[in-house]
Structure 1
Amino acid sequence: MDVPGWVWAITVGAILLMLAVDYVGHVRSPHEPTLRESAWWSAGYVGIALLFGVVVWAAAGSTYGGEYFAGYITEKSLSIDNLFVFVLIMASFRVPRLYQQKVLLIGITIALVLRTVFIFVGAAFIERFSAIFYLFGAFLLYTAWAQIRSGREDEGEYKENAVLRLTRRVFRTTDDYVEDKMVVRRDGQRLITPMLIVMVAIGTADIIFAVDSIPAIFGLTQETYLVFAANAFSLLGLRQLFFLIDGLLDKLVYLSYGLGAILGFIGVKLVIHALHTNELPFINGGEHVTAVPEISTPVSLGFILVTLLVTTLLSLRRTRLDATASALEHASAQEARLGAHLDAPVDGPADPHVDAPADRQEPRA
């Protein structure tokens, strides 16, 4: 896919414009977004991403269009997993709800810049060393196994990464938030606030996820332009998505298993592709291995969509069953307490007019 420079320029310009709209129109005046606002903006960003895919499909053909959609859906689903960590980070740093939009937007901007670097480095490696597909595939298979094995057990507590610990060690920090300021001056000294630290936490945490998602999307398309666009569009709507599904994240109890299945599938696809482009002398004498057919883009897209659908439906069913069981258990406990109260003996003196002995006489005046 030969993408002219002017197409790159228009795409990057559109992404910068959307970021500018977010910075000027949303976070400049701190406020807590409503569910309606988050829903409309989330739908708008998804609509732009889908429209971009339609343009790619019409201009470059169904192959590249399908690769973009598969990559975008995969990146979007993996970004939902990022939100679990974002929730933990926000809770750990006790970020006021009023300023969470700004934290997310700047953190996502940092992540977008760093991911772009990762993408171009990965593309350069792929162009020079086709054997890297073996490494990508093996890494994704390991990641899939680890995620399925651990489920959601590792998401109960946020742990600071090395970048964040270094930031705390090098710079003087305030103990509390100063509105939405990142740097303040006190007693002639310049101090950073928890607002800046939590932004670094969001940005660097997303880079950890990029270690999984970048190899995954390269397993669906090797076109650098499509990889960049899919990543950018999946990240741009993440802020609105956070506020839209913040209360629904706990209901997606099987999401880790679904994402593990997708990563494992793409890992297998990468290994098969590596065999088809094999140049390693100790594998088939350095010749290509074509006995196993490659997995097509429509099959990949179908597997991703079906896995996400099944994961969501099973998660909602499990949540509903757990809620019903909890309600029944609560009702049984209340019934047991009521029964125990009714069966308990009545303490205290009896009514003298009812229980007094018959031969007992009242004293005379």
Structure 2
Amino acid sequence: MNPLEIREQFPILHQEINGHPLVYLDNAATSQKPLAVIDAVKRYYEWDNSNVHRGVHTLGSRATDAYEGAREKVQKFINAKRSQEIIFTRGTTTALNLVASSYGHANVKEGDEIVITPMEHHSNLIPWQQLAKATGATLKYIPLQEDGNIDLADVEKTITDKTKMVSVVYVSNVLGVVNPVKAIAEIAHRHGAVMVVDGAQSTPHMKVDVQDLDCDFYALSGHKMCGPTGIGALYGKKALLDAMEPVEFGGEMIDDVGLYESTWKELPWKFEGGTPIIAGAVGLGAAIDFLSNIGMDAIERHESLLANYAMDRMREIDGISIYGPAKRDVGLITFNMDEVHPHDVATVLDASGIAIRAGHHCCQPLMRWLKVGSTARASFYLYNTEEDVDRLISALIQTKEYFGDAT
């Protein structure tokens, strides 16, 4: 793959910020959108805009075909067995909350255990906190190694026959750790627990096969993988989804409504009450086509090379602490500069046209584990280059010099 050719397809990247060409390194927060996605959403609104599953007119049929076609693209992209196992949601957060609210409340009771890790994004932590509070279950944490990795021996100790649910992020949005979710799923299933995977940071950057992982649920967001905001998906094994009750009620998800009783549509529509996110699904389908044409293996290799190049360059700068494993398989580096607040680092970099993230990254428990209040984060994607890294390093050196002189 040629990142210089790829970036030509992203209009937003061709601008100046504060008098400098934009270097966008906040891809873990959200990715930019290629023309193929922008045009697909634009075309839907210009030519096919209609509600789905309802009208028999031509626009309704075209909109329905586009919406359900996008579902099939998600299915194939993550290798689900059938399209009925793909539920469209607003994103990873909604998908995880759906699992906790529906499957969790029906199957977890007092005395049961829910197992997660300290590296979870708040979206994969708070729903389980709330479920534990509501049911009287115990929330347990798999401990982390010094570099942030998980030891399977600790997984074996933490998951017991009382464990009903295990939920783990595939790729940490802070540490850049790729967790062994397939092995964790095997341990969970051995104890009769279901395995939930937060795939927000993995789906955009590597090939995902939910059947090979043998996870029971998998959540993803479109906006991190070149798609629109406000669209994502939940994968669930059909037998589990069939047994679950919907959490939103109204139009679109019903089969028959009486004055006192109602019945639901079959999968996947019983979980998609109301007018769905049609344009978002169309855009997500276009994003999947875009990524698939490039190849997820090629994207993963490019990001890993870029991240490790950036880490090597960062280590040349005195006073920078890098968090997580010494080698990166994904394009994400979280760091701090001695005596300089991460927000100040990000502000100075923005003055040079470089966008990074600063803060707790929706991972406050992990920040406490790292013994910091917040961090800076540079995250790469398929359109980033070594030149972007070199500009980042140059700006970090200038930042260090600026605050060194200030003191």
TM-score (norm 2): 0.25
The structure showing larger relative contact order (alpha-carbon pairs under 8 Å, at least 6 residues apart) is 1
TM-score (norm 1): 0.27
Greater Rg by CA: 1
Question: Greater helix share, 1 or 2?
Answer: 1
